[in-house]
Homo-oligomer: A and B are copies of this chain.
Amino acid sequence: MNLVILTEQDRVGKGRFVLADHRAVHIRTVLRITPGETVEVGLVDGPLGTALCESSSEHELVLTCDHWREAPVPTPTIDIVCAIPRPKTLRKLLIFSAIMGVRRILFVRANRTDKSYLQSPWLQPEQHRPFLLEGLSQGRQTRLPEVHTHQLFRPFVEDTLPDLENREPVPSVKLLSDPYAAQVVGELGPLSTGPRYLLAIGPEGGWVPFEMELFAAAGFRPVGLGPWTLRVEMALVAAIAQVSLVDRMRNRHE
């Protein structure tokens, strides 16, 4: 727990928060913060702060924080399109996305999404929050990624994605991770005006040709991540790491 994430539900006064769950236990027994000491906190979708531990018992821990500072907003802005994965992978994708400051995760049912995955309780929006909060805490982030799930592939790519795109101030760079792509992300030439990327990460076994074609028609360009067959959550990390690196190098050279 690199940052103690606070929510409005924890608030009992203006700058006063009461924790009575695993966070309190962690602060007391792992971080070993005692009353009078301070701990770094972040408010969900809000600022960072240094909170004072007022009291601590087996049952609850009271923190006060009156001085807040802006949490840095990750740059570039990265949105992810991802095939609905097996539940264990879904959980990792939520945590990893929050750690890496992803703005929005769009899960879509792909041809290779096993039917059983759709029954996963973890696919329900109310189940995402604990994993996202765990990621924020690990990654020292405060901005909760948006998560959406779409059951129909074609309308998602043909209608939903353009609708979302139209609401943005600048067009995104759309990339599709494809092990057979001839190019890597650094070889695509000038990318765009915006520091905004939409990355499509395939399911185990990859997107099927029909899906690849729809993505291509929607403006996605295939890129290879490297000579590996990665797990989905590893592909997420590799893709974000490479896109962020190339984005930063481009901006330095301009």
Contact = CB atoms under 8 A, between A and B. Distances in A.
Interface residues of A, number: 35
Interface string A2-45: 10000000000000000000000000000000000000000000
Contacts of A228: 74, 99-101, 139
Interface string A72-86: 101100000000000
Nearest to A252: B187
A234 interface: yes
A72 to B, nearest CB: 7
Contacts of A101: 227-228
A237 B138 CA distance: 17
B99 A234 contact: yes
A232 to B, nearest CB: 11
A185 to B, nearest CB: 7
Contacts of A108: none
A252 B229 CA distance: 22
A245 to B, nearest CB: 5
A71 to B, nearest CB: 12
A249 B186 contact: yes
Most buried by B among A74, A245, A252: A245
Interface of A: 2, 72, 74-75, 96, 99-101, 138-140, 184-187, 225-231, 234, 237-242, 244-246, 248-249, 252
A244 B226 contact: yes
Contacts of A99: 228-231, 234
A3 to B, nearest CB: 8
A118 to B, nearest CB: 19
A140 B229 CA distance: 7
A194 to B, nearest CB: 16
A245 B140 contact: no
Contacts of A74: 227-228
Contact of A229 (B138, B237, B244, B249): B138
Contact of A241 (B72, B187, B238, B248): B238
Contacts of A244: 226-227
A234 B96 contact: yes
A252 B99 CA distance: 32
Contacts of A238: 237-238, 240-241
A226 B101 CA distance: 11
Contact of A249 (B138, B140, B187): B187
